[in-house]
Chains A and B, each alone.
Chain A
Amino acid sequence: MKPSGIDLHHLAGVYALNALDADELALFEAHLHGCELCQREVVEFCETAGLLALATAQPIPQRLRNFVDAVPGKCGLPRWASMSASQLFRRVLGSLEGTQQEFDSVAEETEQPRHA
């Protein structure tokens, strides 16, 4: 018997609440990839979770606001405009893989003039 195969369909709710342990998270994400029903449910439950978050809204501290104002400059996104297609592709790929270092190093590469 493989009860987990059936159970996985019922994990969309706890997944949307980030309430899965690491082991089940990996299992469910693998399942989610190919299950449209769960994908739809996750979207819906994430919307609902977003409303739960809304109910706890708090004024932003000034220090945080100051930090956030500076985020675009720190991240340097506007530089994307001057990237070549292949640099852009690598950067997007880096972000998809969640490798921030790679992400940043590609961004830096575009800043430095290259000397062969």
Chain B
Amino acid sequence: MLKRNTGAKGHADIGAGALADQLAPVMTRCGQGDEGAFVRIYDELGSLVYGIILKVLRDPAQSEEVAQEVFTEVWRQAPRYEPGKGSVKGWIATIAHRRAVDRVRSEQSARNREDRDAVERHVDLTSAVEDLVGDELERQRVRVALQTLTEVQRKAVELAYYGGYTYREVAVLLDEPEGTVKTRIRDGLIRLRDEIGVSS
């Protein structure tokens, strides 16, 4: 098992994922206006984009709308993608998640954000697995890695990422101090990174 990285040192392996990223040259072609490259990108990552948006918004029609915005943004922003700054997957997932979160927060009044049921609702990962093309093995690894977090870390990470809540909202939902939640999210992400990194 990898040693946990906690400080400025020990980050020498950052580029590993990006180096192995077969989609990076495809993204570069996409940025040059290659429509075939764009098709390849959404063939590979479309289900990720739609899946995370649906997870956050929970409404298929709205999720489709937001996914449309994301793919449009990906095509338009493609020339700005820098392979040295992370994988295509990480880049596109960030765009998709941010758009989903923007949407959910803009409709805060429509949703009851103080809803305590949220804690239960979002701490349920295993339901998302269906017959999908793509790397089931990798998905399985993520789910296994999530189970290695402490209960409180996992809840904080899942509410923030899958629930689309700010860490301050997470603190209210979990009835914990904000600083504690911040630390748990950070520690949880480091743990996940190290767990998933082990076998990749």
Contact = CB atoms under 8 A, between A and B. Distances in A.
B168 A71 contact: no
B94 A40 contact: no
Determine chain B's interface SS by DSSP, over half rule: helix
Interface string B113-144: 00000000000010010101011001100110
A71 B69 CA distance: 10
Interface string B50-72: 11101100001000100110011
Interface in A51-99: 51-61, 63-65, 67-69, 71-72, 74-75, 77-78, 80-81, 92, 95-96
Given A61-B60, A72-B38, A72-B75, A20 B50 contact: no
Contacts of A59: 47, 50, 130, 132
A22 B186 CA distance: 19
Chain B interface size, under 10 / 10 to 19 / 20 to 34 / 35 or more: 35 or more
B196 A51 contact: yes
Interface residues of A, number: 51
A39 to B, nearest CB: 8
B71 A44 contact: no
Contact of A56 (B8, B54, B183, B186): B54
B186 A12 contact: yes
3 closest Cβ pairs, A-B complex: A50-B93, A13-B186, A53-B52
Interface of A: 10-14, 16-21, 37, 40-41, 43-61, 63-65, 67-69, 71-72, 74-75, 77-78, 80-81, 92, 95-96, 103
